[in-house]
């Protein structure tokens, strides 16, 4: 009889102990608001041409200030048709929170850049499509049919 009762009570006691270990930190909301997210603004020239070096610019800000010497700023580039797939590479810091990517695109088409940026325990991974030269009808249809795949930041200036 005691064993039967023990078997019914033990799981309840264990559940209470486990849930007690997962209690909410009382100042979690304060900590969340105190931390400032990292923001990446990706500036891509309006007209990019195939066959010549092009520069894409990344401006990092945090807490309203530019972020020089971020913990890391990496990028990946790929083409919609799969012909290009660059591995993750470090962006070049040119100063005052500005980082650049220089790349010669061999042909016209739809491309994507994905950033991996981190600073002061804030990590972001924004992605943005862009065109080199003219887009094909298929690429235009893809952009028009897809849900937005890029959310740059809360900044009012988007490309």
Q: What is the mean pLDDT of residues 13-24?
A: 50
Residue 145 has pLDDT above 90, yes or no: no
pLDDT class for 129, splitting at 50, 70, 90? very high
Collect contacts of 90-94 with beta carbons under 8 A, ≥24 apart. Answer: 91/58, 91/115, 93/68, 93/69
Helices and strands, counts by H and E, the chain: 3, 10
Task: Quote the pLDDT of residue 112.
Answer: 97
pTM of the predicted model as reported, rounded to 2 decimal places: 0.71
Paired strand residues for 113: 77, 128
pLDDT at 131 over 90: yes
Interval 84-88 mean pLDDT:
94
């Amino acid at each position: 009889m005691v064993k039967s009762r023990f078997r019914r009570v033990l799981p309840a006691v264990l559940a209470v102990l486990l849930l007690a270990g997962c209690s909410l930190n009382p100042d979690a909301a304060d900590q969340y608001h105190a931390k400032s997210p990292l923001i990446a603004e990706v500036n891509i020239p309006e007209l990019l041409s195939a066959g010549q070096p092009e520069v894409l610019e990344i401006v990092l800000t945090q807490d309203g200030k530019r972020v020089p010497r971020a913990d890391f700023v990496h990028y990946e580039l790929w083409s919609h048709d799969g012909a290009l797939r660059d591995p993750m590479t470090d962006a070049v810091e040119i100063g005052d929170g500005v980082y650049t990517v220089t790349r010669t695109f061999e042909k016209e088409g739809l491309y994507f850049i994905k950033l991996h940026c981190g600073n002061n325990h804030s990590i972001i991974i924004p992605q943005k499509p862009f065109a080199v030269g003219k887009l094909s009808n298929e690429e235009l249809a893809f952009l028009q049919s897809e849900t937005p795949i890029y959310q740059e930041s809360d900044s009012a200036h988007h490309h």
